[in-house]
Amino acid sequence: MAGGAESSQLECDKVSFTPLPNAVEKGTVCIDGSPEGYYLVPGLGVGAKNWLIYINGGRWCENITTCRNNFKQYYGNSRISFSNIPNSNGTLSIAKDFTGILSQNQAINPDFYNWNRIYVTYCDQASFLGDTVVDDGQGPIVQFRGSRNFDALVEDLLAKGIGAGENVILSGRSAGALATILHCDSFRARLPNVGRVKCLSDAGFFIRA
């Protein structure tokens, strides 16, 4: 879609949250037990076979206490990530504005505006690593399901056709950018039939200094 008034209007549209299938039952959840998921805008025209996956940032929690404190933050609870909008049945749906590299406005985002664009909720607090549960009796159970979440995300996107794509980019910022680095090789290995798979880390290299 060309840039202009119509695409500028689309820029402000809300994209609804898609939880991973049977997330709670399968344990593909945030640290607080809410479902892991993502926001997807399907590609258009020549961009329909190209995919951009963007992983949100949001730090690591330092200990179990701070992890529980993050139950009330977007990086620990998918239910409060973004604004809520009513569905047709009267229930609320978490929604996200797509801007910047995810924008549908060609003037703002000429390279990726018509790709399949996916904004991944980052709420496992460990850059999509680990698969364990902490129940110390001092508070609610804390679930560290990052590795399981990432695997389930890829499986769900494969079902949606990413494996037949021409170009796929895995990207993210901050903690999401670190996840991009950590998962890049295994992600590429799961897409053997894709023409090109690239990983883009935005501010994801951390130095202890």
The distance from CA 101 to its chain's CA centroid, rounded to whole angstroms, is 14
DSSP 3-state of 147: helix
Whole domain around residue 15: which residue ranges? 5-202
Residue 20 in any domain: the answer is yes
Signed CA dihedral, 187, 181, 27, 75: sign only: negative
| pLDDT by residue, tens only, the chain of 209 residues | 333 333 333 344 678 889 999 999 999 999 999 999 999 999 999 999 999 999 999 889 989 999 999 998 888 998 876 666 666 665 556 668 788 999 999 999 999 999 999 999 999 999 999 999 999 999 999 999 999 999 999 999 999 999 999 999 999 999 999 999 999 999 999 999 999 999 999 988 887 77
Residue 148 in any domain: the answer is yes
- 81, 90 in Cβ contact below 8 A? no
Residue 35 in any domain: the answer is yes
Q: Which two tokens stand for residue 101?
A: 């590299």
Domains: count for the chain = 1
Residue 209 in any domain: the answer is no
Residue 207 in any domain: the answer is no
Q: How far apart are CA 164 and CA 90, in angstroms?
A: 37
pTM of the model: 0.87
Residue 156 in any domain: the answer is yes
Q: How far apart are CA 170 and CA 132, in angstroms?
A: 25
DSSP 3-state of 24: helix
Residue 100 in any domain: the answer is yes
Matching residue, tokens 């997330």: 23
Residue 208 in any domain: the answer is no
